[in-house]
Amino acid sequence: MIRFDDVVVRYPRAAVPAVDGVSFDVPVGTITAIVGPNGSGKSTLVRALLGRVTLERGVIRVDGDDAATLDRRELARRVAVVAQREEPAFPLPVPDYIALGRHPHAHLWSAADPGATTAVARAVEDADVRQFMDRATDELSGGEWQRVRIARALAQNARALVLDEPTTYLDIAHEMSAFELLDALARRGLAILVVSHQLNLVARFADRVVLLHRGAVAASGSPSDVMRGDVLEQVYEWPLVVTRDPAVGAPALLPLRRRRNA
């Protein structure tokens, strides 16, 4: 569905590229996770997909078409993105906010497109945000706002969903329910790409993990392939052990305290 092919991004006046020759696939029906330390180029990949930064080399393909030359509205009909941060300039009612997900489908003059009502209703159902519909965007908690943003992205009716750190500021229950939601969406045939710092959640939910280190892919494959103590320790530059979660069998990461006299 989405394919990053040898992507190189360099910010103006930067000595080294932020993303340096990254290639991976995001197939439909799966969750693909990008992990890596701060500044490893995760969000830059998302910005590159959106056309917010230009590629120095390589190509990002969406359904085989070059994302850079694809019409922006067409791109938005294929790929929905929940960016890292978002604050509307003026608070708006939640239903109106979710309906903005229909923007790529709307025509110039008509207030709404034919599929709007069903798409919005379904997005509200899937993201489980019905109970927030009588509130405004500035009357939601962090977790509620995140769900409402996912609902807006779902209203786009795209076959790919990209989320940049969707669980920041969320407590355990909201974190889990967000990933459960992604899991359900993937099983329904969406291609999910999630940027996350929550390695233990990623290990349990993702089908494929791409580990970035200084803009390049340090490891990729199944969670068990990538979540190896030696690899992670080197990338994160922090002592850690990887065990196996006894309850679910997924790899589990435990960062260690630094020994005082070490």
Partner 1 sequence: MTPASGRAALWIVLASALLAAALAGLAIGPVRLTLAEVWYALGGRGDVTAVAIMRDIRAPRVVLAGLVGAALAMSGAALQGTMRNPLAEPYLLGVSGGAAVGAVIAVAGGSPFGVIPLGAFAGAVAAVMLVLAIARAGGRRPDPRVLLMAGVVVGAFANAVIMIVLASAPADSVRNALWWMMGSVAGATWGQVGWFAAYGMLSVTVLLVIAPEIDVLALGDDAAASLGVDVDRAGRRAYVVASLLAAATVAAAGLVGFVGLVVPHLVRARAGSRHRGVIAAAALAGASLLIFADLVARTLRSPSELPLGAVTALAGVPFFLFQLRRFR
Pick one of 21, 27, 58, 93: the residue that binds partner 1 (CB under 8 A): 93
Using CB under 8 A, count the residues that bind partner 1: 35
Nearest residue (CB) to partner 1, 101 versus 215: 101
Largest Cα–Cα separation, the chain: 70
- Our finding on whether 51 is near partner 1 (CB under 8 A) is yes
Q: Phi first, then psi: what are they for 238, rounded to 5°?
A: -155, 135
Nearest residue (CB) to partner 1, 137 versus 196: 137
In a 3-state reduction of DSSP, which class is residue 117?
helix
The C-alpha atoms of residue 184 and residue 154 are separated, in whole angstroms, by 13
- Our finding on whether 80 is near partner 1 (CB under 8 A) is yes
What secondary structure does DSSP assign to 10-48, as a single string?
Answer: --TT-SS-SEEEEEEEE-TTSEEEEE-STTSSHHHHHHH
CB 50 → partner 1: shortest distance, Å? Answer: 5
Segment interacting with partner 1, rule: CB under 8 A, options 85-93, 118-126, 224-232, 251-259: 85-93
In a 3-state reduction of DSSP, which class is residue 61?
strand
Cβ-contact 229, 217 below 8 angstroms: no
Tokens coding 42? 């995760």
Burial of 176 (0-12, 13-18, 19+ CB in 10 A): middle
Pick one of 50, 176, 216, 240: the residue that binds partner 1 (CB under 8 A): 50
- Our finding on whether 166 is near partner 1 (CB under 8 A) is no
Q: Phi first, then psi: what are they for 245, rounded to 5°?
A: -60, 115
- Our finding on whether 90 is near partner 1 (CB under 8 A) is yes
Nearest residue (CB) to partner 1, 102 versus 174: 102
Q: Are strands 79-82 and 65-66 parallel, antiparallel or unpaired?
A: unpaired
- Our finding on whether 14 is near partner 1 (CB under 8 A) is no
* Site track 23-42 with partner 1 (rule: CB under 8 A), x = hit: --------------------
- Our finding on whether 74 is near partner 1 (CB under 8 A) is yes
**List of residues contacting partner 1 (CB under 8 A):** 12, 47, 50-52, 72-77, 80-90, 92-93, 96-97, 100-101, 103-104, 106, 108-109, 153, 156
